[in-house]
Amino acid sequence: MPLEEGSWFLDAGFQRLPPPLQGEIFQVKPDASTGMMVLSGSSGRVDVARARLFASQGATVIALRWFGGEGQVPGICEVPLETFFSATDFLVGLGCKRIVLVGTSKGAEAALLTAVYDPRINAVVAISPSSVVWGNIGPGFDGISWPERSSWTLRGTPLPFVSSDPEWVREYRDGLVAYRGLFERCLDMHESEIDAAAIPLERTNAEILLVAGCDDALWPSDEFAASIVRRRAGFGLSTQLVLGEHAGHRILLPGETTPRSSLHAHGGSDEADTELGRLAWEHILTVL
């Protein structure tokens, strides 16, 4: 049945989010009880294809732009976690009873942090996640990328993060920079910073599903995921983990054709990334 004129939604389609939120919202069922937020990584992409995929399962889905938009910080530098709280406000205001976040890479970092500090989050699907907070990627509002700052703030205060290593010598794979070694080196160099920067997922009651490829060339998401599982297990909390031995950073859910980056190595292969996405999808449907 067509929705009323002036609604935020179109049948099986989308509308822009109302300001100050940025992105697009998809809804097939106007009375959906599950609200979802899809957070892409450092590409800054508004992940319309993935949002449509989840909307096809009956959820109301926001494909959120959380940096790089009008009036937003241009890089992933001191991004307010309140950005994600506001999107949850909107979904709850639509009548959504269950809130699920789906984040990839830096978007997974954001999703996990949001679940820690917003008790309304019921579940997180963290794809190619981090277990700690990292420094900025790109500039803040001042246009300055260095000195390094946190990726995130909460109530105006930057969150502790693991420092980078400006002396790191670039490593290459298939002609592209492979950053995995940088992140592993930073964890070794700045071990004293890890405890403060760790995402305290023992503080959330949200269901956590982690998906990672063991051949991730961008950062060691498989090691990060294992660290999250160990940390939560220490508090008696269970965590779902889906690993792909040959998959890389870019994990493809059913029907997705997201291109590889031309700027850095992802690892994996089209076949392995697709297979892990297919396996993960079975678990994601259970979460939904």
- Over 90: is that where the pLDDT of 16 sits? no
Task: Report d(CA 126, CA 121) in Å as an integer.
Answer: 13
- Over 60: is that where the pLDDT of 5 sits? no
Across-strand partners of 13?
27
Q: Which of 33, 29, 73, 31 is nearest to 55 (CA)?
A: 29
Task: Report d(CA 215, CA 173) in Å as an integer.
Answer: 12
- pLDDT, average across residues 110-139: 98
pLDDT of residue 259: 87
CA dihedral in degrees (32, 205, 201, 243; nearest 10)?
-60
- List, in sequence order, every beta strand (DSSP E) within 121-239: 121-127, 152-154, 157-158, 172-173, 176-177, 207-213
Q: Is the alpha carbon torsion for 225, 229, 232, 238 positive or negative?
A: positive
- Over 60: is that where the pLDDT of 226 sits? yes
- pLDDT, average across residues 228-235: 98
- Over 80: is that where the pLDDT of 7 sits? no
pLDDT of residue 260: 87
Percent of the chain with pLDDT over 70: 95
Q: Which of 42, 24, 37 is nearest to 263 (CA)?
A: 42
- Over 60: is that where the pLDDT of 231 sits? yes
Q: Amino acid identity, residue 213?
A: G
- Model confidence at 17, pLDDT cuts 50, 70, 90, reads confident
- pLDDT, average across residues 177-184: 98
Task: Report d(CA 122, CA 35) in Å as an integer.
Answer: 10
Q: Which residues, at least 6 apart from 99, have a Cβ–Cβ distance to it below 8 Å?
A: 34, 35, 36, 37, 88, 91, 92, 120, 121, 122, 123
Vertex 253 angle, CA 262 and 81, to 5°: 75
The mean pLDDT of the chain is 93
- pLDDT, average across residues 236-260: 96
Q: Is the alpha carbon torsion for 123, 44, 52, 88 positive or negative?
A: positive
- List, in sequence order, every beta strand (DSSP E) within 147-271: 152-154, 157-158, 172-173, 176-177, 207-213, 240-244
Helix 82-93, helix 106-117: angle, nearest 10? 70
pLDDT of residue 19: 86
pLDDT of residue 31: 81
- pLDDT, average across residues 255-276: 94
Q: Which residues, at least 6 apart from 71, have a Cβ–Cβ distance to it below 8 Å?
A: 20
Task: Report d(CA 163, CA 147) in Å as an integer.
Answer: 10
- Over 50: is that where the pLDDT of 43 sits? yes
The 10s digit of each residue's pLDDT in 77-120 is: 999 999 999 999 999 999 999 999 999 999 999 999 999 999 99
Vertex 261 angle, CA 126 and 183, to 5°: 55
pLDDT of residue 15: 67
- Of 9-13, 30-34, 213-217, 255-259, the range with the lowest mean pLDDT is 9-13
